[in-house]
Structure 1
Amino acid sequence: MSSNGIRDKVAVVAMGCTPFGEHWGASADDLLVDAVQEALSGARGVGREEVDAYWLGTLGSGQSGLTASKPLALDYKPVTRVENYCATGSEAFRNACYAVASGAYDRVMAVGVEKLKDSGFSGLLRADAPGDGTAAELSLTAPAAFSLLDPAYCARYGVDPADMRAAMTHVAWKNHANGALNPKAQFRSGATKEQIERAPKVAGRLGVFDCSGVSDGAAAAIIVRAEDAHLYTDRPMYVKGLSLAAGPAMGAADPDYDFTTFPEVVASATDAFAQAGVTDPRSEISLAEVHDCFTPTELVLMEDLGFSERGQAWKDILDGAFERSGRLAVNPDGGLKSFGHPVGASGLRMLYECWLQFRGEAGERQLDDPTLGLTHNLGGRPGSCVSFVSVVGSRLTPR
């Protein structure tokens, strides 16, 4: 898998993000307006009329571009609605970036929104397309499907289940501690390791604290050509690499798949790093926002993204390697686990944290001079998913 990439051709000049959580008193329209208004207020001389085109990401909170054009009162602007499972917000961002890089538009906006709480369900609302009956894994809930990562990892690498449980607990503990410092997070309190391990079970060994939040929210980004970025802001964020990989979706039908890796993540990360010129992600990446839908997912992602050796992520996690004070800060904003997961907005929320960190505006969770960030968004389930990886930076690459 390879692509030419658009390194340093486009830049983000403003972003907005609502608090994530249970917004019973706000509609999807309200959330869209709030996120877009924050983004517009952060870019010099940019109002709705100056934005040439919009890309909207939502899984189930609207159909067509009218979902954005109506609440934003857009006058006949092109609005493209995209969907790619939980990578929907990232897909809106990817397409918006390519539109500017192609020269088709000067200024565009990517926006994502999702209202999940109003459904009355505790998980995602989704309707699977009719199939031939071979996709047996679709009969499993998402927690059940991802819970298989835990015993599979232990079996492949000879990890004591007690050590694996401790590593999963540490992921939840870390992300809740980070989210407690984030005023926009859904869950703004820490959790003790004892609380995490005693929580009611959801599937397999996954308890309530091992699962990401179900929430409402929206996020937005304004994107322009890199050479124009300083017209709109003194501190732009430059796009270094964007990669999306859709797997063959063989899932449980593939006898070689062992639930200890996401091949789609490996493919998208390899491509994104090549585009960005990253040869050693462990030393070059300053922070990573990854798709921690469940605690064992984050653990496996550390290996798929090249941050840990195979079979060693559980040790690195317990050693504190991925805490804010460790060698690589992972999910410093709390991640899906604590910030929440309104599907259409999550990918843009990850970029929002990079945006804040690069500008020195992350408050109590601010890192020391981060220069290169990674975001990772996963849609689907083990063995049948799409994966997005971006690399973004605070500076142009020297030529």
Structure 2
Amino acid sequence: MTSHGIKDRVAIVGMGCTRFGERWESSTADLVVDAATEAFETSGVHKDAVDAYWLGTMNGGFSGMVLSSALKTDYKPVTRVENFCATGSEAFRNACYAVASGAYDVVMALGVEKLKDSGYSGLTRANPPSDGTSTTVTAPARFSLLAPAYSAKYGVSRDDFKAAMTHVAWKNHRNGARNPRAQFRSEVPESKIASAPPVAGDLGVFDCSGVSDGAAAALIVRAEDALNYTDQPLYVKALSFVAGPGTGPIDPGYDYTSFEEVVRSAAEAYSQAGVTDPAAELMMAEVHDCFTPTELVLMEDLGFSGRGESWKDAMADRFALEGELPVNPDGGLKSFGHPIGASGLRMLFECWLQLRGQAPSDRQIKPKGRRYGLTHNLGGAPGDCVSFVAIVGSELG
């Protein structure tokens, strides 16, 4: 075990999340203010009571002043972090550790990104220079390798796996259609998803997450102080972050049917939280559905499905809102897009709503006696990525 964990030592007492989408009318500072203001209002915490801030952004700015100038904080420390697509989760993780260490009483983690203002579709970052021998492969192309690899390993026909990918997109768009904060709010028929223009391999347009702007924020305090702010805090049960060695693309044994980084981070998170059967103990999960085959592989890496079984579980609606373990009940990256700094905290915001029974009635999950929610981010590419898993719960113990 690489971490002793901080189970039940810190709690979330307030959260905010903006509407995600093409937010041409709002600046980065506007999004910061909107997310933070909602977090303050839900907790009753005044801005002046916050001791320190952690800001997650990939390209929203290169110092903590992105936040301090927007919120006009009173000379408080602001730490800016970035860690691929897990940037927002990294801000949350570090903010939690700061409170658990005793260094601060009240902190905020905030993630923000405006990708639409870049003028093109994709991430606003440049790859480091190379000697010219490295090939440039797009993210859709890299993740498209999962589908044929899975089919070959488990003897699943191309058509059957494509149908499962289509069903994942249909499920997540169905959930997003019920979420006023989502970028895409329309259900999409499976026939339209399956016949959409190709992007890479078997990935069509609807198999890929969108590009959007957005922000989300969380206020964190010591667990013993949580009830001073809200009668429904969320207690942090586990935080696990893994950076892989990056050997997948050069390892002849790597078969593109699993993310070892996810397997390792999930195992550590379950150990910290005391979870032994995640499929039976979790009320919900928000996972990194950057592409539809990614979600299918994640179901197995996170222990929700047996190896070679996730495509059948998806088709059987095990992960639908009404299923055994709802996955991406807010619509996921498919419906929200993926403003890098904000996504991890947006996932936690859905846990905040669902575990407190405050999600809209048409997508509120029935607890079934379960108390935990899980969030997962990965960043990078298959065999060459980072992975984050958090588990939060509505009760101590």
TM-score range, shorter chain: over 0.9
**In the alignment, is residue 110 of structure 1 matched against residue 109 of structure 2?**
yes
Counterpart residue identity of residue 282, structure 2: I
In the other structure, the counterpart of 2:31 is 31
Alignment match, 2:340 = 343
1:313 paired residue among 299, 310, 313: 310
Q: Say which of 262, 265, 279 aligns to 2:276.
A: 279
Shift, 1:130, TM fit: 3.1
Q: Give the partner amino acid of 1:244.
A: F
Residue 76 of structure 2 aligns with which residue?
Answer: 77
After superposition, the Cα gap between the structure-2 partners of 1:131 and 1:4, relative to the gap in structure 1 and judged at 3 Å, is farther
- Give the match for residue 171 of structure 1: 168
Query: What is the number of equivalent residue pairs in this alignment?
Result: 394
Which amino acid is the alignment partner of residue 194 of structure 1? Answer: S
Once the two structures are superposed, residues 321-351 of structure 1 have per-residue CA deviations (whole angstroms, 9 ceiling, x without a partner) of: 1001111000000000112211100000000
Deviation at 1:134, TM superposition (A): 6.3
Task: Look up the match of 1:368.
Answer: 366
Q: Indicate the residue corresponding to 2:137 in structure 1.
A: 140
User: CA offsets per residue over residues 228-253 of structure 1, 9 Å max, x none?
Assistant: 00000010000000000000012321
**Correspondence for 1:20:** 20
Name 2:253's counterpart in structure 1: 256
2:395 matched to which residue of 1?
Answer: 395
Q: Distance in 2 between matches of 1:219 and 1:2?
A: 29
Equivalent residues in 2 for 1:85-104, closer than 5 Å: 85-104=84-103
* Partners of 1:135 and 1:251 within 8 A in 2: no
Q: Deviations over 1:44-68 (max 9, x none)?
A: 2x11110000000000111111111
User: Any idea what the Cα deviations from partners look like across 1:297-335, whole Å, max 9, x if unmatched?
Assistant: 000000000000001100111111100111100000000
1:325 to 305, 322, 325: 322
For residues 287 and 9 of structure 2, what CA distance do their matches in structure 1 show? 24
Per-residue CA distance 1:22-74 (angstroms, 9 max, x = gap): 00111100000000000001112x11110000000000111111111101101
Name the SS of the counterpart of 2:91 in structure 1: helix
**1:383 is matched with which residue?**
383
Q: Which whole-Å CA distance do the structure 1 matches of 2:186 and 2:336 have between them?
A: 11
Cα shift at 1:2: 2.5
1:293 corresponding residue in structure 2: 290
Deviation per CA, 1:160-199, whole angstroms, max 9, x where unpaired? 1110001000000000000000010000000000000111
Q: TM-score, with normalisation over the residues of structure 1?
A: 0.97
Q: Does 1:267 align with 2:269?
A: no
* Structure 1 residue matching 2:321: 3-state secondary structure: coil
Match of 2:49 in 1: 50
Q: Could you tell me how far 1:125 is from its partner in structure 2?
A: 1.8
Gaps of 5+ in 1: none
Deviation of residue 282 (structure 1)?
1.0
Match of 1:194 among 180, 191, 194: 191
1:319 and 1:98, CA in 2 relative to 1: closer, same or farther beyond 3 A? same
Residue 256 of structure 1, CA deviation: 1.1
Q: Distance in 2 between matches of 1:205 and 1:120?
A: 27
Instruction: Tell whether the 8 Å contact from 1:286 to 1:373 is kept in structure 2 after alignment.
Output: yes
Query: Aligned to 1:306, what secondary structure does the other structure show?
Result: coil
CA RMSD of aligned residues (A): 1.0
Deviations 1:274-303 (A, max 9, x none): 000001111001100000000000000000
Please tell me the residue identity of whatever aligns with 1:37: T
Residue 218 of structure 1 aligns to a residue in which SS? strand
3-state secondary structure, aligned to 1:329: coil
TM-score by structure 2 length? 0.98
Q: In the aligned structure 1, how far is the partner of 2:342 from the partner of 2:385?
A: 18
Distance 1:378 1:64 in 2: 23
